Amino acid sequence: MAHVLIPLPAHDFDPTEAAIPWVLLTRAGHSVIFATPDGKPATADAVMVTGVGLDPWGFIPGLRRLVLFGRWLRANAGARRAYAAMIASNAFAVPLRWDDLHAGDFDGLILPGGHRARGMQPYLESRVLQSLVVDFFRADKPVGAICHGVLLAARAIDPATGKSVLHGRKTTSLTWALENAAARLGRIIRFWDPFYYRTYREEAGQPVGRMSVEAEVTRALASPADYRDVPTGTPDYQRKTSGLVRDSESDGTPAFTVCDDRYVSARWPGDAHAFASVFARLLAPGGDRLDPR
Average pLDDT rounded to a whole number, residues 45-63? 94
Across 244-283, b (16+ Cβ under 10 Å) vs e yields ebbbbeeeeebbbbbbbbbbbbbbbbbbbbbbbbbbbebb
The answer to whether the beta carbons of residues 292 and 221 sit under 8 Å apart is no
Residue 83 and residue 6: Cα distance in Å, rounded? 14
Angle, helices 77-87/15-27, rounded to nearest 10 degrees: 70
pLDDT 10s digits, 211-268: 999 999 999 999 999 999 999 999 999 999 999 999 999 999 999 999 999 999 999 9
- Largest distance between two CA atoms of the chain: 57
Task: Tell me: pLDDT of 291 over 90.
Answer: no
Average pLDDT rounded to a whole number, residues 130-144? 98
Task: Tell me: pLDDT of 192 over 50.
Answer: yes
Q: What is the pairing mode between strands 157-158 and 163-164?
A: antiparallel
Task: Tell me: pLDDT of 72 over 60.
Answer: yes
Question: What is the pLDDT at residue 287?
Answer: 56
Percent of residues, the chain, with pLDDT higher than 90: 95
Task: Tell me: pLDDT of 205 over 70.
Answer: yes
Question: What is the pLDDT at residue 284?
Answer: 86
pLDDT 10s digits, 168-188: 999 999 999 999 999 999 999
The answer to whether the beta carbons of residues 178 and 209 sit under 8 Å apart is no
Question: What is the pLDDT at residue 289?
Answer: 56
pLDDT band at residue 290, thresholds of 50, 70 and 90? low
pLDDT 10s digits, 23-32: 999 999 999 9
Task: Tell me: pLDDT of 286 over 90.
Answer: no
pLDDT 10s digits, 33-43: 999 999 999 99
Please enumerate in sequence order all residues whose Cβ is within 8 A of that of 166, keeping only pairs 6 or more positions apart, or say none. 150, 153, 154, 156, 217, 220, 221, 263
Average pLDDT rounded to a whole number, residues 40-64? 95
Q: Give the H/E segment covering residue 17.
A: helix 15-27
